[in-house]
Amino acid sequence: MTWRLLPIAAVLAAAIVASVSLGDVSVPPLEVLRSLFFGGTDYDVVVRELRLPRTILAAVAGAAFGLGGALIQAVTRNPLASPDVIGVTQGAGLAATIALTTGAFAVAPAALAGGLLAAAVVFGFGSRAGFTARRFVLAGVAVAFALRAGIEVVLTSAEVIDAQRAQIWLIGSLNGRGLEEATAIGIVLLAAAVPLAWAAWALRISSLDDDVARGLGVRPVARRYGLAALGALLAASATAQVGAVDFVALVAPQVAQRIAKTERPPLVMSALLGATLVVLADLAGRRLLAPTQLPAGVLTAAIGAPYLIYLLLRRRRA
Amino acid sequence: MKLDVTELVAGYDGRKVLNGLSVAIPPGKLTVIIGPNASGKSTLLRTMARLLKPRGGAVLLDGQPLHELPPRLVAQRLGVLPQAPLVPEGISVLDLVSRGRQPYQRWWRQWSADDETVVRQALSDADVADLADRPIEELSGGQRQRVWIAMALAQQTETLLLDEPTTFLDLAHQVDVLALMRRLQRGGRTIVAVLHDLNQAARFADHIIAMRDGEVVATGAPSNVVTADLVRQVFGLECVVVPCPVSGAPLVVPTGKE
């Protein structure tokens, strides 16, 4: 398991170097490394102040999306039960849209609260029959649709300029963001380190039948709540800072599970793949139609979906 | 270790299946619960295994109410094999059996040399040591059932409860599982199982609990309990009971419905 992480960590490192190196002014990769580790090069401003903060933000946001998705998917044993499908992202989106169009609240805290509130509602519906996967996913999809309708209502009744800003937020963009946002996510990730270490262990039993888990002295339903709440917190914190970057929380854990060949999405690898995906999506968004910037959220699906489909096809053939 | 059921009320969603049932499980014996469908035998076993909460009365483990004890500590004393558990995909036999050590582990202290020894022993006791590296979904029904039993053995409990462990198995594998239960009892454990086959119950049990409509109709040694009268009373079936040519245990031969 651990050795499988190395190539992915290497890909992430390469993606980070590429993201810092490519731009209107291209910096040779070796100069990037020199500037990062030693400083004092001609490129210090471009590397350290312009591109690195945004790249770090992409990496930590992606890691938080990957972890959040892995936790919720593992708990519900359902790849569709990902925060961007079951309403967490849409809850954050509705709160952010209201904040952006009315100016009544600060966007990030409102989005975080909206995401957590949506998660609480979905958990409430899903728990009626002991938090079974099907109920949970159905409740989540219903809540997500309702919230999306709410977003449309707010957008159509808002001023055009406000609505446009909200649209960009809803797609998810790292443009003009950096260390401040990265720190906010980093604090949540750091605070979640111990709960995550517990989660990695607790998930072993969550993949078993509830009766078997009870026989082993575990309270399966209470444990599912804890794990899913942790996942929702991570996904909502990342969404609050970078907007509704779609598909990362869904695809990163699925790809990780297929690479690691495990029974459930592995946490560390999901985090690394989530980080890699957002860094690459942001890089592609900056460069593909340069000087026009595409939001990262447009490209996460464009990069992630074909790779997941490739893995699905390869598995069927094997 | 003693397991006693007193005045137990239990059921599902407003439907009471057991209404004030009392029964004692003899320690160190192989006890089999028999009875027709919907007689409450699985409900009784599931409540004893604390898979189901009692609505009234109690299951007592050495005199203490089972449902008030910390689940982790109960899991160190009482193991359970539920009926037809869902098989997790993509994990090996060794990995699954290792999870039987869960009640002894903490997230900050996960695996010890002791765990390793116990898991190896459980694999060999359940006769699945040679399957250790195989993925579970590749195994036959009989092998899977022995793997689940191995997982319960890794829990190192004095008592093991099994809910219909032979259902869905062919005859040879049924006998395998029954013989394994017998070996475990000889090794000093208390075994309780729900079985459908009367003749297998009579042949392998030390002690029989016969149930009908949520009540205990008779308890005792197979030779005392398994009689033509009892089979008529419990199953509504006319039969002749003869001594088994191999073991001498009672053998039920149905003659027809009354």
Of A2-6, A55-59, B114-118, B228-232, the poorest mean pLDDT is in: A2-6
Q: Does B203 touch chain A (CB under 8 A)?
A: no
Tell me the nearest-neighbour CA distance from A315 into chain B, angstroms: 13
- The answer to ipTM > 0.85 is yes
Q: Which residues of chain A make contact with B102, given a CB cutoff of 8 A?
A: 204-205, 216-218
**Total residues found in chain B within this entry:** 258
What is the total count of domains within chain B? Answer: 2
Other beta carbons less than 10 A from residue B135's beta carbon: 17
- Considering the domain architecture, whether residues B50 and B165 belong to the same structural domain is answered as yes
Residues B114 and B103 grouped into a single domain: yes
- Tell whether B170 and B191 lie within a shared domain: yes
Q: Is the pLDDT of residue A315 over 80?
A: no
What is the spatial distance between Cα B158 and Cα B165, in angstroms, rounded to a whole number? 18
The pLDDT-based confidence of A316 (bands split at 50, 70, 90) is low
pLDDT computed for residue A172 by the predictor: 86
Sheet holding B30-34, edge to edge: B78-81, B159-163, B190-194, B30-34, B207-212, B215-220
Instruction: Say whether both B70 and B4 belong to one domain.
Output: yes
Domain that residue B103 falls in: 90-156
Regarding whether B163 and B40 lie in a shared domain, the answer is: yes
Place of tokens 């053998």: B251
Residues in B touching A214 (Cβ below 8 Å): 49-51, 71, 80
Give yes or no for B92 touching A (CB within 8 A): no
Substitution target from A198, A207, A208, A227 for chain B, most B beta carbons within 10 A:
A208
Within a domain: B4: yes
Q: Pick B71's closest partner by Cβ from A198, A219, A262.
A: A219
Distance CA B206, CA B192 (A): 10
Q: What is the pLDDT, as a whole number, of residue B42?
A: 92
Please indicate, yes or no, whether residues B72 and B161 belong to a single structural domain of this protein. Answer: yes
By DSSP bridging, strand B78-81 and strand B159-163 are parallel
pLDDT: which is higher, A21 or A128: A21
**Option in B79, B86, B107 nearest A198 (CB):** B107
Are B161 and B202 part of one and the same domain? yes
| Low pLDDT (below 50) residues in chain B | none
Q: What is the pLDDT of residues A122-169, one digit of tens each?
A: 988 877 666 667 778 888 999 999 999 999 999 999 888 888 888 888
Q: What is the DSSP string of A36-92?
A: HHT--STTHIIIIIIIHHHHHHHHHHHHHHHHHHHHHHHHHT-TT--TTTTTHHHHH
Residues B96 and B219 in one domain: no
* Cβ–Cβ below 8 Å for B82 and A205: no
Q: Give the whole-number percent of chain A exceeding pLDDT 70.
A: 97
User: Averaged over A201-226, what is the pLDDT?
Assistant: 87
On whether both B25 and B149 belong to a single domain, the answer is no
Is B189 part of any domain? yes
- Condensed to tens digits (0 to 9), the pLDDT of residues A157-175 reads 988 888 888 888 888 888 8
Last residue in a domain, options B139, B156, B173:
B156
What is the chain A residue with the closest CA to B98? A204
**B212 to chain A nearest CA, in Å?**
25
In a shared domain, residues B190 and B163: yes
The DSSP element (H or E) to which B232 belongs, if any, is: helix B228-235
Please name which of B65, B64, B52, B62 lies closest in space to residue B159, comparing C-alpha atoms: B62
Q: Residue A127 gets which letter from DSSP? A: G
- The whole-angstrom separation of Cα A61 and Cα A43 is 26
CB of B111 within 8 Å of a chain A CB? The answer is no
pLDDT at residue A318 in the model: 44
Please name the member of B75, B108, B148 whose beta carbon is closest to the beta carbon of A217: B75
Tens of pLDDT, residues A43-54: 888 888 889 999
What is the reported pLDDT for A128? Answer: 66
Q: How far is A125 from chain B (nearest CA, A)?
A: 19
On whether any CB of chain A is under 8 Å from the CB of B61, the answer is no
Residue A54: CATH number of its domain = 1.10.3470.10
Domain count, chain A: 1
Per-residue pLDDT tens digits for A231-275:
999 999 999 999 988 889 999 999 999 888 888 899 999 999 999
Containing structural domain, residue A206: 2-317
Residue B178 sits in a domain whose CATH number is 3.40.50.300
The residue in chain A having the minimum alpha-carbon distance to the alpha carbon of residue B161 is A215
Half-sphere exposure of A131 (CA within 13 A, CB side): 26
The region of weakest confidence among A102-106, A114-118, A180-184 is A102-106
Could you tell me if A197 lies within 8 Å of chain B, comparing CB atoms? yes
Is A155 within 8 Å of A82 (Cβ atoms)?
no
**Which pLDDT value is given to residue B114?**
86
Q: Which residues of B touch A219 (CB under 8 A)?
A: 71
Q: Note whether B144 and B165 are same-domain residues.
A: no
The CA distance from A199 to the nearest CA of chain B, in Å, is 8
Residues B108 and B213 in one domain: no
Mean residue pLDDT of chain A comes to 88
Which of A315, A262, A312 shows the shortest CA–CA distance to A2?
Answer: A262
